[in-house]
Structure 1
Amino acid sequence: MNDNTQPIKLACPTCQKKIFWSDEFPHRPFCSERCKLIDLGEWANENHRIAGEDASAQNDELEDR
C-alpha cells in the first residue's frame, strides 16, 4: 500500500464498531477476538445460514437412486 492510499473503513459485522482494514485490527473484518467468536457461535448454532437447498435433502435424493 502506498502513502496516498487510505485503508478501507468498515463496520464490524457483530457490533457495528467502525474499524479500518489494516494490521491494527488483526481480527478483521471483526473489531476483536470476542466479536469473531460471537459470530462463530452464531454459525455453529445455525442462526446464520447460506441460502440454498438443505444438504441432507440432497443426500436423500442421491440414496434413492
Structure 2
Amino acid sequence: MAWITIPGTANAGLEQQPGYPVLRVGQEGRVLNLTEEQGAALSFGSVLSLRALLDTLPAQVATRLGD
C-alpha cells in the first residue's frame, strides 16, 4: 500500500488515521509512505511526472520487499 500525503493537512500520515492499527498492511509493515514529490507525480499522472516517479519508486518497493 502506498500513502500519498497532502502537504499542510493535519493528521496526514496513515499511521495517524483511525483504524490504522487493525489494518493488515500496517501490522505487516507493508506501507510505503511516498514523498511529497512522488505523491504529486502519482496524482498528476502525466508522461513526465510518471517517469520521475518510476526513477525512484521501484527501488523503494524492492527495498521494502527485501529484494
TM exceeding 0.5: no
Higher RCO (C-alpha 8 Å, min separation 6): 2
* Bigger proportion of residues as helix: 2
Between Structure 1 and Structure 2, whose CA radius of gyration is higher?
1
